[in-house]
Amino acid sequence: MATTTLSKIETIREDFPELKRQFHGKPVVFLDSGASSLKPLPVIRALTDFYSYHYANVHRGIYQLSEEATDLYEGARTRTAKFIGAPSERGLIFTRGTTESLNLLAYSLGDTLGPGDEVVGTIMEHHSNQVPWQLLGKRRRTVLKHVGVTDEGVLEMGDYDKLVTDRTKIVTVTHVSNVLGTINPIKEISKIAHDHGAVCIVDGAQSTPHMPVDVKALGCDFFAFSGHKMCGPTGIGGLWGREELLEKMEPFLGGGDMIREVHLQESQWNELPYKFEAGTPNIAGAIGLGAAVDYLNHVGMEWVARHDEELIAYGMKRLHEQKGVRLLGPTDPKKHAGMLSFWLDYAHPHDIAQLMDSEAVCVRAGHHCAMPVNERFGVPATTRASVYLYNTEADLDAMVRAIDKVRRLFVR
């Protein structure tokens, strides 16, 4: 890597106080951003500044503090909408995160479906893009079908030709697999959905933090994402949807702010996006997400994507040098974002993660809330190292040294 790139990473690392922590006398090596990213100082400051000086409820008061809070909240919406290439902020609903966004769709859009209507997902989805559609099936007797995954960890695109028919109403797919790291061809999948009159939903939880996202270019109808994986606070995320579709959908939750008028037997809904934001929202969370978006824009998402690809390529090379490592997902780093999930022949992922912890290396072990894709590859669990803008090749070297320690302990 060039010196300029290194100095940029050093500057970035200074922004993340948690990276200064030590465990067992060793500096922390954080390789679990796929679960949740660390937070930079500008995001932490935005939260404390809001709570310290500008806090009040939004959309309700006609006093200055409430207007300030409303401006900060709506400003965050405008910048977040722009960050994902949304045509306007009216289509951007703040939710608790990707899981809530997908559940919102499974209710508000899903409940327009009837018996025999079909939803086409894939076997590489996170549980948050499987279970809501299973629940929909129980409520509305819809049929759920799944596109398969090749040995290389990419979608069996030919399955779409067989599975998507005129009975298909929804095609739902993850942009990046949270186990395999596979980057899926969303543009192509959106086109297949539209050719059959279906809508295309994209789970962007693992793509939005790692690459420039433009929902217009992706051609999808709905896009869900989480703030906490992209340097923002927990409990905030978004659902972008085409306005004409959101207009036709019934609200997910009822309560304050989502109404225009309430009578004893019926009500009229507020305009977009408030129709889908019942109750006092996560105001501070949204403002923190706005600060995270500013931070990522300042670093540059093209740079983040390039850095990610370089780290993935380096991590793949280092892991392939080890004995008994089976790495899941595409072998081409250009088709692979954010994470390296692997299986070691000689130790269970939970033991590996625990031993890595003794070296201050933080990784996730388990099924990563995506049991069907683990089953597909015949593994009960994997060890997953996930990288982000603050990671370096030295972090991956530390992980490989920890793997070596695991091997020495388990292989005699």
Q: Binding residues for ligand ALA, per CB under 6 A?
A: 34-35, 126, 178, 364, 368-369
Q: Residue 299: name the closest of 8, 85, 80, 41 by CA.
A: 8
Alpha-carbon gap, residue 171 to 190, rounded angstroms: 8
Q: Which is nearer to ligand ALA, 83 or 225 (CB)?
A: 225
Q: For the CB of residue 285, give the shortest distance to ligand ALA in the complex, in Å.
A: 17
Q: Which of 200, 220, 231, 369 is catalytic?
A: 369
Length of the chain: 412
| Closer residue to ligand ALA in complex, CB, 282/386 | 386
Residue with Cβ nearer ligand ALA (84 or 179)? 179
Nearest partner of 338 among 158, 211, 242, judged by Cα? 211
Structure tokens belonging to residue 155: 């979608």
How would you classify the pairing of strands 382-386 and 339-344?
antiparallel
Helix, strand, or coil (residue 220): coil
3-state secondary structure of 145: strand
- 25: buried, middle or exposed (CB in 10 Å: 19+, 13-18, 0-12)? exposed
Residue type, 266: E
Return the exposure string of 49-66: e unless at least 16 CB atoms fall within 10 Å of the residue's CB, then b: ebeeebbbbbbeeeeeeb
Beta carbon of residue 313, minimum distance to ligand ALA (angstroms, whole number): 21
The C-alpha R_g of the chain, in whole angstroms, comes to 22
Pick the closer one to ligand ALA by CB: 31 or 199. Answer: 31
To the nearest whole angstrom, how small is the minimum distance from the Cβ of residue 7 to ligand ALA?
A: 30
Least distance to ligand ALA, CB of residue 205, Å? 6
To ligand ALA, the closest distance from the beta carbon of 272 in angstroms equals 28
Nearer to ligand ALA (CB atom), residue 274 or residue 342: 342
The answer to whether 362 is a known catalytic residue is no
H helices, E strands: number in the chain: 14, 17
Least Å distance, CB 87 to ligand ALA, is: 28
User: Token pair of 324, please?
Assistant: 């008994």
> Exposed, middle or buried by CB within 10 Å (0-12, 13-18, 19+), for 140?
middle
Shorter beta-carbon distance to ligand ALA: residue 59 or 336: 336
Q: Minimum Å distance from CB 370 to ligand ALA? A: 7
Contact between 56 and 68 (Cβ < 8 Å): yes
Helix axes 393-410, 349-357, angle to 10 degrees: 120
* Helix, strand, coil distribution of the chain in percent, nearest 5: 45, 20, 35
- 168 versus 386: smaller Cβ distance to ligand ALA: 386
Catalytic residues: 369
